[in-house]
Amino acid sequence: MSASINIALIIGSLRKESINRKFAEYIVSQMPDRVNIKEVDIADLPLYNQDYDDTTIDSYERVRQQLKDADAVLIVTPEHNRTMPAALKNVVDIASRPYKESIWTHKKVAVVTASPGSFGGINSGLDVRKSMQMLSAQMMIDPEIHLSRATDSLNEDGSVTERTQKFLQRFVTDFVDFAEKLGD
């Protein structure tokens, strides 16, 4: 039996009825029992400001600790104006500071994007990857998940369609494999 894996989940949308939240919940429901997932709440984070580096901000410390404790991070996010949402960028910045204390260094990270548009949030995903690579995170490259016309991947009750379930199952398997390769 494999050891347990701790995953931090960041949902880039703050909307309660976010389609990205629905996909994240489905992905979480498909994880093996040995995977522990804890969502990182990013809604209460003040905007990052370098002046805060010498100050203790409880919400910053909570997020930094959750990310430190995780073996890997799963980001599920929409695209806002052809890039990552401001709330997601904020947590990326918060966890990268203070200087030389970035939590992202060598952290395993995977990103899933979903959008009602035809590009599936790919620009957001690429911008997350670009930021993470600059911060020396280990990005999961394959499979890439950019769900286009994502509302078509949900049933009327908000559940994920069977076709999309099969697609996401490969991601779950590969992500768990990626996260298990600790220290790589």
pLDDT at 105: 98
pLDDT at 181: 86
pLDDT at 3: 86
- Distance, CA of 40 to CA of 154 (rounded, Å): 24
Q: Are 96 and 104 in contact (CB under 8 A)?
A: yes
Residue with tokens 């490259």: 141
- In 3-state terms, what secondary structure has residue 158? coil
pTM: 0.95
Q: Could you say which residues of the chain have pLDDT below 50?
A: 1
- Distance, CA of 2 to CA of 28 (rounded, Å): 18
- For the segment 156-181, what is each residue's pLDDT rounded down to a tens digit? 999 999 999 999 999 999 999 999 98
